[in-house]
Structure 1
Amino acid sequence: MNHSPDTTIYPHPFAFPDAALADLRDRLARTRWPDSETVPDWRQGVPLATMQALCTYWRDGYDWRACEARLNALSPSRTQIDGLAIHFLHLRSPEPDAVPLVLTHGWPGSVIEFLKVAPMLADPRAHGGDPKDAFHVVLPTLPNFGLSEKLTTPDWSPERVARAWVELMRRLGYEGFFAQGGDWGYAITNALGGIGAPAVRAVHFNMFPIFAGMEAVDAQEQQALARLQAFAEHENGYMTEQIQSPQTLGYGLTDSPVGQAAWIYELVAKYTDGNAEELLGRDAILDNITLYWLTATAAASARIYWQSMRTFREHSIQVPVGFSQFPRDIHQTSRRWVQERYPTLVYYNELPQGGHFPAWEQPALFVEEVRASFRHSR
């Protein structure tokens, strides 16, 4: 009898039943709304009128099937790795010298963050770029998110996810590849960089966590520490709740689509450099929220904080490192700090605009940053 693990890659398209979409619309129609905020701004959270307008459109004007079509154009598939079904998108480049690249999302994001940039990265010739910068793009979904399997035990660290990504890339025929990430994608990509060559040839980050107590030697670094302190004192409630009680939080978010929408919408709006609905598009924001809703992953995805914030550690990286600082991200840094942590830094740039979700918000800038960073390692 053959007891070897099943390494088959199966097509696994997005195809939620009509009944699930009808249930969503019905729940939205029966929302029990809270009282209005008592301040004329966002200091108490997303204003009532803003959420009501978003959810009226979600119920009456939004088209999830259009998002499904875009996702299903990127070969959605699943495969069993380390006992867990991992879902991913895959866009092969038409260029013969393309280099494999894995992009890892975070929370409250998803692979939807990368739908604009994936074609630009895979086929630069068709998007005004140099074909020498082409990538084979792989977009895996983290365990507990989207259509990847949910964990039943709390034992998947960023290091374990990184090892799963190496195996996924190997199954796709990519023995060596580049890796990119921000948010929780930073943690996974940091672990991938620690694995290093030959599997991981270089990494690029669009987030660099800084910590209280780091030494500041100039105004830029002092401002970064002040920003971190402001976040810790006034903005990290969502993080604290997900570290402490993801299960408790999950009951309300899994039962109420408005609750799930508000939980995500506030952070997307807060950490976008400008008006989120204009820069990302109302439909794109709802694409991401709807994916969380239809997969009922509010509690599951929040557990990444419960598990990994307690165990996260930085890895020493020997392969080339690139970093791009977008000005509206939570963490701000300096070249000096990045260089100290990563002596193999080959690319550093500070961008004039962009926030915590740069691939989503500033796709052209993000693509050029990825291309420029990895040119050093091709």
Structure 2
Amino acid sequence: MQTKPFQIAVPDADIHDLRRRIKATRWAPATLSPAWQQGIETAWLRELAAHWADRFDWRAAERGLNRQPQFLADIDGQRVHYVHRRGMGPAPYPIVITHGWPGSFFEFHALVDLLCDPAASGGDPADAFDVVVPSLPGFAFSQAPAQGGTSAFQVADLWASLMRGLGYERFGAQGGDLGAGVSVALAARHADVVDGIHLNFLPSSYEPATGAAQSPLTSAEANYLREKNEWVALEGGYAHMHATKPLTLAASLNDSPIGLAAWIAEKFRAWSDCGGDIERVFPKDELLTNISLYWHTQSIGSSIQMYWENRLQPMRFAEGQRVLPPVGFAHFPKEINHPPRSWLERTFDVVQWTDMPGGGHFAALEKPTLLAAEIRRFFRALRP
């Protein structure tokens, strides 16, 4: 594996072009529906657009992103961008943390600090981690796959090669959203090197064996499946589009910054513990840093392609199949699904389950201190 240091440096011409496009937006006429009922709220989106064009400082955001040590690795012809931060402690434990959509490696900027240097926030240096945060293939500065077939399972193989190339013989994994699927795939396919995985989301395609040889569904499990189907019917249109017609969607989102911002920001409001006030949790500059990463790398199309691939390779487990490495799960109250512990235990050895006091789908951004404490607690028993 070949690696080299990397720093983000978006050309000035791209920044000027973005501002020009925002100012030239042809706004859709507003409907008479209540705010946010039918998607993004137009008045708020206009505020976000004005901030993006006139006040958001990409260069300041870029400097903040570049404070984390970043690299590019060539893994069998696939270019992978990643953050690799060494821990401050007597024996830092290696962990690979994977983001999802519509997030990015930026999601973990506060979490990385907490995990690498726990003493700086009053923690125990013995809990320090060496943290690796790769960008998923086709996201941000990671190359899009040259051919089809890269689902969570193939990404897990890439991550195993990346960690081995960085000198880690054994390691842990953590993730939410698409990153939860990658973490599960790491445990399922690389149990010889993965000590354990910590999740704050259960992959939507996860399906344990439920045949005649298995225990019948509990009432909690049946309620979970019913609620999940209801959520998909009312809120899952984005994922169905990603998984069935990604190129059609990409044609518009890659050309329109306001379309891109609407598609992403609406999810940050709907899936977070913000009580309907998105900026109570995510300041405009934080939202726009993440959205700008998609814009400046033209990666929205290649990012949603992973939904297509995951649909073709769903996370289904056969009769008697078990994932061997232990699992920790942080259940955040405003997450988009709420599986009971027994549903995971049909496949996984769940050794830590915590009902969190607050937070939603974007746990690392919303509640980094709470999430860091859970990760530290889970891996404490797995350290050599």
Fold conserved between structures, TM > 0.5: yes
How does 1:213-232 map onto structure 2 within 5 Å? 217-218=218-219, 220-221=220-221, 223-232=223-232
2:58 maps to: 64
- Tell me, in whole angstroms, the C-alpha distance in 1 between the residues paired with 2:28 and 2:57: 26
**Could you tell me how far 1:212 is from its partner in structure 2?**
9.1
Partner of residue 359, structure 2: 354
Name the amino acid aligned to 1:353: G
- Deviation of 1:310 after TM superposition, in Å, equals 2.0
Structure 1: distance between partners of 2:226 and 2:287: 30
Give the Cα–Cα distance (whole angstroms) in 2 for the partners of residues 154 and 138 of structure 1. Answer: 25
Percent identity between the two aligned chains: 39
For residue 69 of structure 1, report the CA deviation from its aligned partner. 1.4
In 1, Cα distance between equivalents of 2:303 and 2:229: 26
Would you say 1:364 and 2:366 are equivalent positions? no
- 1:354 and 1:362 in contact (8 A); partners too: yes
2:142 maps to 1:148: yes
**Aligned runs of 1:229-378 on 2, under 5 Å?**
229-274=229-274, 275-314=277-316, 316-342=322-348, 344-378=349-383
Mapping 1:66-215, distance limit 5 Å = 66-209=60-203
How far did 1:280 drift? Answer: 2.3
Distance 2:380 2:86 in 1: 19
Distance in 1 of aligned mates of 2:44 and 2:202: 32
**SS of equivalent residue, structure 1 residue 312:** coil
CA RMSD of aligned residues (A): 1.7
Aligned partner letter, 1:290: S
TM-fit CA distance, 1:227:
2.8
Distance of aligned partners of 1:352 and 1:156 in 2 relative to their CA distance in 1, 3 Å threshold: same
Gaps of 5+ in 1: 1-6
Letter aligned with residue 248 of structure 1: T
Letter in 1 for 2:224: A
TM-score normalised by the chain length of structure 2: 0.92
**1:70/1:235 CA distance change after superposition, 3 Å:** same
The alignment partner of 2:16 has SS state of: helix
With normalisation by structure 1, the TM-score equals 0.94
Unaligned segments of structure 2, at least 5 residues: 211-215
Which whole-Å CA distance do the structure 2 matches of 1:98 and 1:228 have between them? Answer: 38
Q: Which residue of structure 1 lines up, in the alignment, with residue 213 of structure 2?
A: none
What one-letter code is carried by the residue in structure 1 that aligns with 2:330? S
Which deviates further from its counterpart, 307-316 or 51-60? 307-316
> Are the counterparts in 2 of residues 37 and 48 from structure 1 also a CA contact under 8 Å?
no
Q: Give the AA of the match of 1:38.
A: L
Query: CA separation of 1:286/1:208 partners in 2, compared to 1, >3 Å: closer, same or farther?
Result: same
Q: Which amino acid aligns with 1:322?
A: G
CA displacement at 1:133 relative to structure 2? 1.2
In 1, the alpha carbon distance for the partners of 2:68 and 2:316 equals 32
Letter in 1 for 2:347: R
* Residues in 1 aligned to 2:191 and 2:241: alpha-carbon distance in whole angstroms: 37
Q: Secondary structure at the match of 1:87?
A: strand
